[in-house]
Amino acid sequence: MGSETIVSSGLIGGGLLPDDDTVLGEGFRPQITVFMCIYCAYMAADTAGALRIKYPADIKLVKLPCTGKVDVRYMLEAFEQGADGVCVIGCPIGNCHHVHGNERGLARVKYTKRLLDEVGLGGERLEMYFVSGGMGMTFANAIKEMTARLRELGPNPM
Ligand code: FES
C-alpha cells in the first residue's frame, strides 16, 4: 500500500510500556490498525514512549507521509485483514505539513465510516484523531478510547 508498517507492539522512542493488565484488565483485546502521519502523529507517539505513558499494546502502526495519503481501500483492507478497529491520527487541522492533507484524510474517514455502516460493520470502528507532536498523553488516550469502544463492540465479525 506504499506505506511502512513499523511495529506491531507500539515500541517507539522511549518505548511503550505494554502493561496490558493495568491498562486493559482481562477479556477481549481489540486489534487496532493505526494509520499515522510521520510528522505530528509519529512525534506524539514518540513523546508517549519517551514519557513512558502506558497504553494498550495491541496496535499495528502504519506510517504515512500525511493522513491525506490514507485511502479508503487501505482502511477497508485493514478490516479485511482482521483489525477490530482502525484509527487515523494526524496533525491538528490547520497544522498539516501538507497544508490540507488532514482535511482530505478526514473526508475519506467520514466516507469510509458511512461504507462501514452500510455493510453492517459499523462506522464507529473507525475514528480519526488530531494531535500535535508534544501530545503524548492525547495520543495514548486516543488508543485507550478506541480500545474501550471496541471492547464494547466486540471482535470484528468479518
Ligand atoms: Fe500530519 Fe498531514 S502531515 S496530517
**pLDDT of 23 over the 60 cut:** no
Amino acid 153 reads L
Q: Is residue 56 part of a domain?
A: yes
Task: Give 11's pLDDT tier (boundaries 50, 70, 90).
Answer: very low
Give the tens place of pLDDT for each residue, 77-132. 999 999 999 999 999 999 999 999 999 999 999 999 999 999 999 999 999 999 99
Q: Residue 158 domain-assigned? A: no
Among 36, 42, 63, 67, say which to mutate for ligand 1: greatest number of ligand atoms within 8 Å of CB.
Answer: 67
Cα 135 to middle of ligand 1, angstroms: 15
Q: Which range marks the domain in which residue 62 is found?
A: 4-153
- Mean predicted confidence (pLDDT) in 69-77: 98
54 C-beta closer than 6 A to ligand 1: no
Number of domains in the chain: 1
pLDDT of res. 27: 82
Q: Could you say which DSSP state residue 92 is in?
A: P
Position 105 scores a pLDDT of: 98
CA dihedral 89, 25, 79, 1 (to 10 degrees): 50
| Choice between 7 and 146, residue whose per-residue pLDDT is larger | 146
Q: Is the CB of 104 under 6 A from ligand 1?
A: no
Roughly what angle, to the nearest 10 degrees, separates helices 40-50 and 136-153? Answer: 90
Query: How far is C-alpha 4 from the chain's CA centre?
Result: 14
Q: How far is the CA of 30 from the centre of ligand 1 (A)?
A: 26
Q: State the Cα–Cα distance between residues 2 and 7, nearest whole angstrom.
A: 16
Number of CB atoms found within 10 A of residue 86's CB: 27
**Do the domain assignments include residue 86?**
yes
Q: What pLDDT score was predicted for residue 19? A: 47
Q: What percent of the chain has pLDDT over 90?
A: 82
Assess whether pLDDT exceeds 90 at residue 1: no
- Any domain includes 74: yes
Q: Which amino acid is at 144?
A: K
Instruction: Give the pLDDT of residue 83.
Output: 98
> Is 64 a pocket residue for ligand 1 (Cβ < 6 Å)?
no
Residue 133 lies in a domain: yes
Task: Quote the pLDDT of residue 97.
Answer: 96
Q: How far is the CA of 25 from the centre of ligand 1 (A)?
A: 33
CATH code of the domain in which 87 resides: 3.40.50
Residue 26 lies inside a defined structural domain of this protein: yes
